[in-house]
Amino acid sequence: MYGKIDVALIYGSTREGRFCDTVATWAGGQIASKSAFSLDVIDPAALALPTRRESRESAALSALTWRLEQADAFVVVTPEYNHGYPAALKFLIDSIYHPWQAKPVAFVSYGGISGGLRAVEQLRLVFAELHAVAIRDSVSFANVWERFDADGRLREPAPANKSMATVLAHLHWWATALRNARKAVPYGRKAA
């Protein structure tokens, strides 16, 4: 029961002039370089999501739900804004419930001196509430603007590449185990 793991790479920022494009492009390249994964890039800035939760689900939200349902695992690329994660990411996560369940989530964060780690700690709590499994390891870019050159390449790629390899190895293990478990027993089914 192996096969490719379908990974949804989720952009955490929708700000104009965001640095998320640079970091997410790097993360996506790392994922795509592994033959064990297929990649679906989800950028909330490119989606026509509503600006608030509505009583009827919009077509864009239905399409997003379907894409998240197809994923075996998630990689969230998030900045840290004011010691937290962006509102657009919170809205995307909170708008959909079931597709997150019993699936692993990994994090790539960035920011100033903390490298986005405070945002990741908050996201771990949110995803636990959604019954997702947060991968312990993560990739963090402190002082991110100094880490990438003008063309979006890492100045010293070896440490980040090594960290991402660890994250992806653990993500693959959890995604495989949880996919097999969901096939054997649908998540949330009551015990006899």
The pTM score is 0.94
Enumerate the β-bridge partners of residue 75. Answer: 9, 106
CATH topology of domain 5-184: Rossmann fold (3.40.50)
Instruction: Report pLDDT for 51.
Output: 66
Q: Which residues, including other chains, have CB under 8 Å from residue 142's CB and lie 6 or more apart?
A: 111, 112, 113, 114, 115
User: What's the one-letter identity of residue 139?
Assistant: V
Q: What is the residue whose two structure tokens read 């995604």?
A: 175
pLDDT tens string, the chain, 192 residues long: the values are 468 999 999 999 999 999 999 999 999 999 999 999 999 999 999 987 766 666 566 788 889 999 999 999 999 999 999 999 999 999 999 988 999 999 999 999 999 999 999 999 999 999 999 999 999 999 999 999 999 999 999 999 999 999 999 999 999 999 999 999 999 998 887 766
Distance CA 136, CA 184 (A): 25
